[in-house]
Amino acid sequence: MRAITYQAVEEVRVQDVPEPAVQDPTDVVIRVTLAAICGSDLHLYHGRIPGLVPGYVLGHEYVGVVQEVGPQVRTLVPGDRVTGAFNPACGACGPCRRGQYNLCPNGGVLGYGLAFGNLGGTQAEYARIPFADTTLRKVPDHVTDEQAIFTGDVLTTAYGAVKNSGLVPGETVAVIGAGPVGLMAVQSARVRGAGRVIAVDLIPERLELAERLGAVPINAAAANPVSRVLSLTGGDGADVVVEAVGGTKTILMAFDLVRPGGRVMAVGITSEETLEYPLMASLSKDVTFRIGVANVVRDIDETLSLVAAGRIDPTAVVSHRLPLAEVPDGYRLFAERKILKALVVPD
Q: Which of 90, 136, 185, 213 binds Zn ion (CB under 5 A)?
A: 90
Closest CA to 24 of 58, 68, 72, 62: 72
For residue 189, the minimal CB distance to Zn ion (Å) is 20
Name the minimum Å distance from CB 92 to Zn ion. 6
Please report, as residue ranges, which positions from 106 to 125 form the binding site for Zn ion (by CB under 5 A).
106
Residue nearest to Zn ion (CB): 38
Closest CA to 300 of 175, 147, 103: 147
Q: Of the listed pieces 104-112, 177-185, 188-196, 203-211, which binds Zn ion according to CB under 5 A?
A: 104-112
Q: In the complex with Zn ion, which residue's Cβ is closer, 52 or 257?
A: 52
How many CB atoms sit inside 10 A of residue 338's CB?
A: 11
When the beta carbons of 104 and 327 are compared against Zn ion, the nearer one is 104
- For Zn ion, give the closer residue by CB, 194 or 343: 343
Taking each helix axis from N to C end, the angle separating 180-191 and 154-164, rounded to the nearest 10 degrees, works out to 50
Amino acid identity for residue 270 in this structure: T
The DSSP-derived string for 209-243 is: HHHHTTPEEEETTTS-HHHHHHHHTTTS-EEEEEE
CA–CA gap between residue 57 and residue 112 (Å, rounded) = 9
DSSP letters of 177-214? --SHHHHHHHHHHHHTT-SEEEEEES-HHHHHHHHHTT
Please report how close the Cβ of residue 235 comes to Zn ion at its closest, in angstroms: 37
Q: Which residue, among 319, 339, 276, 317, has the nearest Cα to 157 in the 3D structure?
A: 317
- Specify the length of the chain in residues: 347
If the CB atoms of residues 96 and 244 are measured against Zn ion, the closer one turns out to be 96
Nearer to Zn ion, 143 or 344 (CB): 344
The DSSP 8-state label assigned to residue 20 in this structure reads: P
Stretch that binds Zn ion, among 93-101, 207-215, 248-256, 320-328 (CB under 5 A): 93-101
The whole-angstrom separation of Cα 286 and Cα 118 is 40
Binding to Zn ion, residues 130-159 (CB under 5 A): 153
For Zn ion, the closer CB: 217 or 246: 246
* Segment lying near Zn ion (by CB under 5 A), choices 2-10, 81-89, 211-219, 307-315: 81-89
Strand, coil or helix: 83: strand
Q: How far is the CB of 193 from Zn ion (least distance, A)?
A: 26
Q: Toward Zn ion, which CB reaches closer, 153 or 243?
A: 153
Per-residue contact string for residues 13-52; x = within reach of Zn ion by CB under 5 A: -------------------------x--------------
96 is a contact residue toward Zn ion (CB under 5 A): yes
Whether the CB-CB separation of 38 and 61 falls below 8 Å is answered with yes
Number of residues that bind Zn ion (CB under 5 A): 8
Q: Which residues here bind Zn ion, judged by CB under 5 A?
A: 38, 89-90, 93, 96, 104, 106, 153
